[in-house]
Amino acid sequence: MRHIMSPLDFSTDELEKLMDLANDIESNPDKYAHVCEGKRLATLFYEPSTRTRLSFEAAMMALGGKVLGFSDSTSCSATKGESVADTIRTVSCYAHIAAIRHPKEGAALVASMASKIPVMNAGDGGHQHPTQTLTDLLTIRSLKGRLNNLTIGLCGDLKFGRTVHSLIEALVRYTGIKFILISPEELRIPGYIRDDVLDKTKTPFEEVTRLEDALPQLDLLYMTRVQKERFFNEEDYVRMKDFYILDKEKMKLAGPDMLVMHPLPRVNEISVEVDSDPRAVYFKQVQYGMYVRMALIMTLLELEV
């Protein structure tokens, strides 16, 4: 039985197969409409979500399966003190596969160790968000045509943004990748990503503060919001939250083929006037998220058409 805790749980060859399957699902949805008939997905969300939970649920329904679960830690027995391990042991009796989001780093791993069914990490604290990374990789590969030879700007809250941590870990396995890490001093990438991932793999990167300086060099700009829920005090959040705002003027500094991605939700960091720019692909990214989760569910359940 296989789980997904980190994007590194899949080799690059396995990721290629997963993305090929996602692209085939996109092109031929009817072919896959019954593959999960009789199967149930449990969504265990102890933290708020729009895209991840609903895309998992939409993915299972599009495969002909059914869904059950909770979307709020106050509506399950966690409020009575039940552990994550006991919760997944229980859910293993009701469902064939589970997606879990939890505010604590490592909670998904704890669940996977107690589970009788495949567990998908749908975000654990500030740590990892592997299915967002699968979404991001599929978006880049589908729209850029490659996952190598890219200069990628990661901008915003690089300290708490788990999507950024997972994406860096996944992309350092491809050749010709260079990162420009754009953040205020207080929200720089954590040391464990800098030392254990970037330095260890000899991946070139620069840390800069000004978005304007980075824009002309980029093939891809990955914007992130400042993660309000992970700040210890409101004052620091308020000081940081509007540090970067990508608008039409700044987009003039970027090349004609630079993609703008964002895991969403967006707050103020991308002005709505950018949405109509053909380089802004963050809502296409949402759509790819459903296809790749369909492919992931099929792969973990070892289902084929």
- Output Rg (C-alpha) for the chain, integer angstroms: 19
Cα 97 to Cα 106, 108, 254, distances in angstroms = 19, 13, 42
Largest CA distance in the chain: 55
Which CB atom, from 92 or from 224, has the smaller least distance to ligand CP? 224
Task: Determine the size of the site formed for ligand CP (CB under 6 A).
Answer: 9
Least spacing, CB of residue 53 vs ligand CP, in Å: 6
80 is catalytic: yes
210 is catalytic: no
Least spacing, CB of residue 116 vs ligand CP, in Å: 26
Q: Name the phi and psi angles at 259, rounded to 5.
A: -85, 145
Which CB atom, from 92 or from 133, has the smaller least distance to ligand CP? 133
Q: Which residue of 87, 112, 132, 183 would you call a contact of ligand CP, by CB under 6 A?
A: 132
Check residue 128 and report its DSSP letter: B
Which CB atom, from 215 or from 294, has the smaller least distance to ligand CP? 294
Tokens 């708020």 -> residue = 48
Q: Active site residue: 3, 40, 51, 141, which one? A: 51
Q: Active site residue: 80, 202, 210, 252, which one? A: 80
Contact string 19-58 vs ligand CP (x = CB under 6 A): ------------------------------xxxx------
Least spacing, CB of residue 149 vs ligand CP, in Å: 26
116 is catalytic: no
SS3 259: strand
Instruction: Report the amino acid identity of residue 28.
Output: N
CA distance 99 to 118: 9
| 186 Cα distance to chain centroid | 23
Which CB atom, from 205 or from 282, has the smaller least distance to ligand CP? 282
Q: What is the secondary structure of 216-227 as a DSSP string?
A: GG-SEEEE----
DSSP bridge pairs for 261: 222
Least spacing, CB of residue 131 vs ligand CP, in Å: 8
129 is catalytic: yes
Least spacing, CB of residue 285 vs ligand CP, in Å: 9
101 is catalytic: yes
SS3 16: helix
Q: Which residue of 206, 265, 267, 283 would you call a contact of ligand CP, by CB under 6 A?
A: 265
Asked if residues 251 and 276 have their Cβ atoms less than 8 Å apart, the reply is no
Q: Active site residue: 3, 39, 43, 52, which one? A: 52
SS3 25: helix
Known catalytic residues are 51-52, 80, 101, 129
Where on the chain is the footprint of ligand CP (CB under 6 A)? 49-52, 123, 132, 263-265
